[in-house]
Amino acid sequence: MNIMIQRHITALALLLPLGASAADTALEQRIERLEAQLETMYGNTQTASNQEYQRTNFGSYGELHLNKLNNRNGNDKDELDIHRFVLFMSHEFDNQTRFISELEVEHSDTGSSGVVVLEQAYIEYTLNEATNLKAGMMLMPVGIISETHEPPTFYGVERNPVETNIIPTTWSEGGVMLSKRTQNGFTIEAALTSGLSTSASSNYAVRAGRQNASKALAVDAAYTGRLKWTGMPGLELAATLHHQSDITQSLDATAGAATLYETHAVVTRGAFGLRLLYAGWKLAGSGPAALGADRQNGWYAEPSWRLSERWGIFARCSSWDNRAGDSSHSRFQQTDLGMNFWPHPDVVVKVDYQNQRTPSGQSEYDGINLGLGYQF
């Protein structure tokens, strides 16, 4: 199936509450239109060159953020930012083989703090109806928003801090991944990829170790396995285990293996939604232990309510600590309250209020975030 239409169907399933008749009707109509588009694209007879062109598809997502946040240390954040502009491009070589990619611009201007980064670029091969093989640069199968993070698909202007600082989304690696779906609702995924490369200079923070397959050190590979169950409508349960033999790519003799444990649940019951996630790292070696970075963990709970097809409200409690192994107070906490408005299923306007509680001496940002996002 056309990859961009797959993205639309996934986004619709996330946005429209199950069990609401009006939403169900709108969803069915949208899917029928997308299926008709597919039939038009691939069912008619055209020249070989036109057929080849129609197998190549483009899309995009992006988000504009306005942050008005007070910092107790005096360095307030009053900032307008094109946070992300992403281009999708895919090509279907035949019914079994396809190429998928994402190119991202962050903060719009590479002359200042902005960057241009390749987020995905991989070949996907369908072995049979239930089994796919990916090879190339891909998003890691960890957490809720790592693989599906287009702005209309989640609440809140900024991505949640646990899946930013602990997992860490967006997390891309180069390698291979095998995915198999079973008839009873399970999906089993196994990946062999490049790994992180963190160091003592960043207090062994896992987010600082992302290499994005850019001349990435590949001394120590990483192994990832995920078991996900979606056998009941409106429910997703998943658990992931990720292991790397040396999280510093053998550059630090005082550090060693690292293991990530992650589990989450996504519940949709009528207008009610709930996301729950826990993730925790264990780092071996005297170096991480001396800084308290031998344990890094976090969790969040996010209930939400769809007031209508276009309006939704949410609350989120988050807690994370990248130095949870020490005895000092190093845990961050954040509460978010806000609202999403979808004038169209693929366009969203967001507003939320965030309140942080941080360790002594750390920046603590409290205030309002406004956001505009889209996908197509």
3-state secondary structure 64-84: EEEEEEEECCCCCEEEEEEEE
- Per-residue pLDDT, averaged over 227-254, amounts to 96
Give CATH superfamily name and number for 54-375. Answer: Porin (2.40.160.10)
> Distance between CA atoms of 346 and 199, rounded to whole angstroms?
40
Give residue-wise pLDDT tens across range 120-168.
999 999 999 999 999 999 999 999 999 999 999 999 999 999 999 999 9
Beta bridge pairs of residue 20: none
pLDDT value at position 111? 74
- The DSSP string of 232-296 is STTEEEEEEEEEES-TTTT--TT---EEEEEEEEEEEETTEEEEEEEEEEEE-SHHHHHHTTTEE
Residue with the larger pLDDT of the pair 34 and 270: 270
pLDDT over threshold 70, residue 176: yes
Distance CA 301, CA 151 (A): 19
For residues 44-72, average pLDDT? 78
Find out whether 41 and 54 touch, Cβ atoms under 8 Å: yes
Q: pLDDT digit string (tens) for 180-205?
A: 999 999 999 999 999 999 999 999 99
Residue 230 has pLDDT above 90, yes or no: yes
Is the Cβ–Cβ distance between 293 and 283 less than 8 Å? Answer: yes
**Is 372:75 a contact under the CB 8 Å cutoff?**
no
Q: Is the pLDDT of residue 17 over 70?
A: no
Alpha-helical (H) ranges within 16-103 are 21-43, 48-54
The residue ranges of DSSP E strands in 107-201, in sequence order, are 115-128, 131-139, 172-181, 186-193
Query: Could you tell me the residue ranges of all domains in the chain?
Result: 54-375
pLDDT in tens, 200-220: 999 999 999 999 888 999 999
Report helix angle 3-15 to 21-43, nearest 10.
Answer: 180
- Tell me the mean pLDDT in the region 171-177: 96
The rounded mean pLDDT for the chain is 89
Under the banding of pLDDT at 50, 70 and 90, the label for residue 110 is confident
pLDDT at position 52 is: 52
pLDDT for the residue numbered 46: 43
Of all residues in the chain, the percent with pLDDT exceeding 90 is 80
Torsion-angle region of 85 (φ positive above 0: left; ψ -120 to 50: alpha; else: beta): beta
Question: Can you tell me the mean pLDDT for 63-80?
Answer: 95
Query: pLDDT-based confidence at 112, cuts 50/70/90?
Result: confident
Using the structure block, give the residue that is written with the tokens 């987020």.
Answer: 119
pLDDT in tens, 272-306: 999 999 999 999 999 999 999 999 999 999 999 99
Q: How far apart are CA 317 and CA 303, in angstroms?
A: 9
pLDDT score, position 36: 56
Within 10 angstroms of residue 369's Cβ, the number of other Cβ atoms is 21
Q: Read off the pTM.
A: 0.84
pLDDT for position 65:
98
Cβ neighbours for 312, distance < 8 A, ≥ 6 positions apart = 155, 304, 305, 306, 339, 340, 342
